[in-house]
Amino acid sequence: MGNEAKCVARIDGKKVEGKALLETCQLIFRGAACRVKIVFGEMKGVTAAGGELRIRTKDGEFAFAVGATAAEKWRTKILHPKTRVEKLGVKAGLRVAVIGDVEREFAEELKQRKAEIVSGGVADGAEAVFLFVVGNGDAGNIAKAAKKIKGAAELWVVYPKGKKLITEADVLSAGRKAGLKDVKVVGFSATHTALKFVVPVEKR
C-alpha cells in the first residue's frame, strides 16, 4: 500500500520510537504513546536531510528518521505522487471491467486514462477487473469473478478500510479459496483499499 519503516520520530520536540507508514495520500506514525496522521494536502514543506524525512504543517514540524534512501524516496512520492490509475497499472487501451458500486471519480479517471471499459460484468478478454465489495455477503462475488479471469488478467478487489463488515483477512481468504494469488495492495482512497489477485503462473 505504500512504505513502512520502524524509526525514531521527532514530534513537538520530543523523540518517539514507532512505525511510520507512507500511504497513498497520507503519512501515519504510530508510537507507544502517540499516533500522528499527516495528509499530503496539509504539508507546507517536505525535505529529506540527515537521514530524516522532515515535514512542516501549520501545526508544527515533524521529522522521521527512516534513513537517507527512504527519506528521499518518500519525499519524492509525497511531492510527485502517482495518480490512482497509475498505481493500479491502468494504461491507455487496457480492457477493464468494473463490477459493483464504483466511485464516479474512478470511472472518470478510467475514461481520462483512455482505458477500454467493457460491459456485462466480467466480459471475455478483460485484462483487469475491478470488483467493489461492501460486506462479507460479497465474498461469493469474488469467487465468481475468479472463475472468469484468464491468463495474466488481474482481479482487483476494492473494499472499505477498517470496517468489520469485510476485512482484509476476509478478502484474502475468499481470493485464495478461489485459487488466486494475492500480489499487491494499493490504497485506493482515504476510505478504501484495493487488493490485487492473479491466477498463479503454473495454472495459466
Q: What is the pLDDT of residues 79-117, one digit of tens each?
A: 998 889 999 999 999 999 998 888 899 999 999 999 998
Q: Judge if 37 and 109 occupy the same domain.
A: no
DSSP codes, 68-129: HHHHHHHHHHHHSPPPHHHHTT--TT-EEEEESS--HHHHHHHHHTT-EEE-SSS-TT-SEE
Q: Judge if 62 and 138 occupy the same domain.
A: no
Q: Judge if 123 and 178 occupy the same domain.
A: yes
Please report which confidence band the pLDDT of residue 32 belongs to, taking 50, 70 and 90 as the band edges: confident
pLDDT at 5: 94
Tell me, what DSSP letter sits at residue 63? E
Helix (H) or strand (E) holding 175: helix 168-177
Residue range of the domain that includes 135: 84-203
Return the bridge partners of 16, or none.
Answer: 9
